[in-house]
A and B are shown apart, each in its own frame.
Chain A
Amino acid sequence: MPSSKDNSERKGRLRLRIGQVVLLAAIFALWHVLTSPTLLPPIYFSEPNQAAFFFGEPLKVLERLWRWFVSGDIYEHLWVTLIETLLAFLIGTVFGVIIGLWLALAPTASAILDPYIKALNAMPRVVLAPIFFVWFGLGIASKVALGVTLVFFIVFFNVYQGVREVSPVVLANARMLGAGPRQLLRHVYVPSAMSWVFASLHNSVGLAFVGAVVGEYLGSAKGVGYLILQAEGFFDMNTVVAGIVLLTAFALILDWVVGIAEKRLMVWQPRSSETERT
């Protein structure tokens, strides 16, 4: 039954969307006005072109993006960066889940490893990049390795925490119902840790991109990070900004995919203020 409440809710959501689009347009307009050499007299900069030099111009950024896709030049680089990101994301997540489960269920091992894990986590892991270049060369592998070190710890700590927070009553109940150690792992620990895993995945999507792009900055011949670095060498601010916009868009898409997977797998979770829908 389409009640009036549903309608007003939809209207409210529409208004939010409009607001968001208007804000985006306003930012572009402001950016355009402030950087255009002809629209405003130079207030801060001595020369009219300097604002555009430092901040780029929105229309040129869009034109850059457009030309990348029309000419097809971008696909090769985008493909490399996305592959690096996805591999780092997947490998880091799988290792994080496995090692998180293992250490959470093996108290002695976790007690022994505890200070080392803390040290590895505290270390600024981007400094490992030069080592990875030596080990894995300048191709994809070194970027994936860098991304894995970033993603792994986030997922690992969340799984570890998630297993620790399993309700002791649910655990005791499953044991009383006859679950053996393997079944406890599969039917109690893993599902209980899943909500923590998904929370961590949203964070680690961004970090997988960081690993890929920083790796490309430091040494590569392909990828969006490489393009940005090249453009910076020519002081081509428009291309730099276009690269940033592109990476942001793809990070958002990946995050959205994680969100969809979460919604499908976590149907059992109570959402706030959920009411019966019959």
Chain B
Amino acid sequence: MTAASALALENIDCTFASREDASQRYTAVRGTTLRVAEGEFVSVVGPTGCGKSTLLNVAAGLLQPSSGSVEVFGERLAGINSRAGYMFQAEALMPWRNTIENVAAGLDFRGVGREEGAARAGDWLKRVGLAGFERRFPHQLSGGMRKRVALAQILILNPQILLMDEPFSALDIQTRQLMENELLELWGADRKSVVFITHDLEEAISLSDRVVVLSAGPESRPIGDYAIDLPRPRDVAEIRLAPRFIEIHAKIWRTMKEEVLKGYAQQQRQ
């Protein structure tokens, strides 16, 4: 390795013991190495239940791998990854805080004063198009709006790495494309390193510099690594029609198809 990667997962194993029976073990991820360069947008795709979220939790420091190491800008990770922002698949906003309090939460935890926090949170709400919704509580917002709040909540802390776990999977297709374009625009402004988890290959290709395909679980590992040489800036809705996009899609899908079928069979058996 030449320069230190922004994020390097080296030879990660994750084995879970069953809660009822400790002899029953499930290895979600085996021998996985994933390196993300500074400013690189990497998507990880794979069939459902292939341990994508496990990998992301390891990168976030929320989960200790059974073996292997995590390095963040060349430093070994211990505890929570404080240089990363994590956007969860499920609702993660604090329901008892209104929009602006939610966005300011990270500043609040870091001891930034209330007024300054509110001012900066207000700026971010404007940037994600939610000016005027400062006093709403999460349950009073639509799904897409809640995702914007979550995005602002993370970006206000200016993390060097963004970890995103199928953040838009619960949204309808139009809202989703809108959010994807907004994400690209925000990312383009200061080029953070991104690890974007999704099961949607089209989403992965249209957003990323690189797509990593994981095999079906258990014991999933990367089985393909594709550079995406589509020009930027991109519009996620339009780029899907470009011939080069279709070419890349076909190439990756050939690898992925078999794994998707395996993953499906796996789920049927359970």
Partners in one complex: yes
- Residue B188 interfacial (CB < 8 Å): no
Is B85 in contact with chain A by the CB < 8 A criterion?
yes
Q: Tell whether, in the assembled complex, residue A170 and residue B92 are in contact, meaning their CB atoms are under 8 Å apart.
A: yes
Query: Most chain-A CB neighbours within 10 Å: which of B80, B94, B110, B139?
Result: B94
A187 and B95 in contact (CB under 8 A), knowing A175-B80, A267-B137?
A: no
Give A181-195 as 1s and 0s: 1 = Cβ < 8 Å from B's Cβ atoms: 001000110011010
Which residues does chain A contribute within 8 Å of B84, judged by CB atoms? 176
Query: Closest CB of chain A to B44's CB: distance in Å?
Result: 18
Q: Write the chain B residue with the least CB distance to A171.
A: B92
Contact between A169 and B88 (Cβ–Cβ < 8 Å)?
Answer: yes
B86-A173 in contact (CB<8A): yes
What are the residues of chain B within 8 A of A180 when measuring CB–CB?
A: 109
- Whether the pair A187, B137 counts as a contact (CB closer than 8 A) is no
Bound CA span A256–B140, Å: 27
Asked if A191 and B91 sit within 8 Å, CB to CB, the answer is: no
Q: Is the CB of A176 within 8 A of B105?
A: no
Do residues B153 and A177 form an inter-chain contact, with CB atoms below 8 A? yes
A170 pairs with B94, CB closer than 8 A = yes
- Tell me whether A268 and B96 are in contact (CB under 8 A): yes
A189 to B: closest C-beta gap in Å: 11
Number of interface residues of B (CB under 8 A): 30
Contact between A172 and B105 (Cβ–Cβ < 8 Å)?
no
Given the known A-B contacts A175-B62, A177-B105, A178-B157, are A169 and B97 also in contact in the complex, defined by CB atoms under 8 Å? no
- Is B105's CB under 8 angstroms from A268's CB? no
Contacts of B108 in A (CB 8 A): 187
Which of chain B's residues have a CB closer than 8 A to the CB of A183?
109
- Cβ B94 vs Cβ A187 within 8 A: yes
Known: A172-B62, A191-B96. A178 touches B85 (CB 8 A): no
Contact of A172 with B94 in the complex, beta carbons under 8 Å: no
Interface of B is mostly: loop
Q: Which residues does chain B contribute within 8 Å of A192, judged by CB atoms?
A: 96
| Given A174-B105, A175-B80, A276-B140, residue A188 in contact with residue B90 (CB < 8 A) | no
**Complex CA–CA separation, A173 to B139 (angstroms):** 17
Would you call B157 and A177 a contact (CB within 8 A)? yes
Per the bound structure, the CA–CA distance linking A176 and B81 in Å amounts to 7
Q: Is B213 an interface residue (CB 8 A)?
A: no
Chain B: minimal CB distance from A261 (Å): 15
**Which residues of the partner chain A approach B95 to less than 8 Å between Cβ atoms?**
170, 268-269
Contact B88 A177 (CB under 8 A): no
Which B residue's beta carbon lies closest to that of A183? B109
Tell me if B106 and A177 are in contact (CB < 8 A). Answer: yes
- Residues of B near A269 (CB, < 8 A) are 95, 139
Q: Find residues 222-278 in chain A having any chain B CB closer than 8 Å to their own CB.
A: 267-270, 274, 276
The yes or no answer to A179 lying at the interface (CB within 8 A) is yes
A188 and B88 contact, CB distance less than 8 A? no
User: With A176-B85, A183-B109 given, is the CB distance from A170 to B157 under 8 Å?
Assistant: no
With a cutoff of 8 Å between Cβ atoms, the chain B residues found around residue A188 in the complex are 94
Residue pair B105, A169 in contact (C-beta under 8 Å): no
Decide: B92 and A268 in contact? CB cutoff 8 A: no
CA distance A274 to B153 in the complex (A): 26
- Listed by A's residue number, 18 A-B pairs whose Cβ atoms lie within 8 Å are A167-B91, A169-B88, A169-B91, A173-B88, A174-B109, A175-B80, A176-B81, A177-B153, A177-B154, A178-B109, A178-B110, A183-B109, A188-B94, A268-B95, A268-B96, A268-B97, A268-B137, A270-B140
Q: Which 3 A-B pairs have the closest CB atoms?
A: A173-B92, A177-B106, A270-B139
